[in-house]
Structure 1
Amino acid sequence: MTAKMNATYPAVIAFLDGHIIQQMVEMHGDYGPLETCWHIRALTDEFITYDLARAILRILTDRGYCYYSKGLFGDDGMVAGAGYGLTRKGLNYYNELCPEPQQ
């Protein structure tokens, strides 16, 4: 069973990375994918729990694909808390994981 898990581990990591990064790119907000920070709850769904999203984001940050920012402000100028943003390296990784469909 261990050999089977090791063989699929990179695929699972790529899937989870791609899921979070794809959400960050495609929900880019008003400022674009590199200028928007997301709270962890914005990146959760029925499959990706808060704790799992947090772990994935920390790993992506350690690898240079995301960054953590605190003291964020909303459009109204009010303090909006903290969140994760996508780096240029993360956007390039997104393009590797989710290439444009060939026409």
Structure 2
Amino acid sequence: MSVKLRTCVLAVFAFALLGARPVLAQTGTITGRVTDDTGAPLASARVEAVAGGQVAASTLSDESGQYRLTNIEAGTYAVVVSLVGYGTRRIDGVRVIAGGT
């Protein structure tokens, strides 16, 4: 694919879901889909949730571009997506709220 990630459309759907943890350690999940500017899914993109310069969770998108970052403590994160041949894209202000969506 010749389209660079910096010009692609990233469909990032961030859903904060209550994790099955005790009250003091409530966590959430960030899910989404990585696509190019035509809407085609991008498989094997590295997706990271970053806060305070530290990676809280990371995964790779599947063949349909879907990803799921789990067991993330409540807070605000940057979601950083990178793929060889596409570069890196950062989406700031993704909120994870334990006990809410």
Based on CA coordinates, which of the two structures has the bigger radius of gyration? 1
TM-score calculated relative to the size of structure 1: 0.30
| TM-score of the two chains, using structure 2 as the length reference | 0.30
| Structure showing greater relative contact order (alpha-carbon pairs closer than 8 Å, 6 or more residues apart) | 2
Higher normalized helix content (fraction of residues): 1
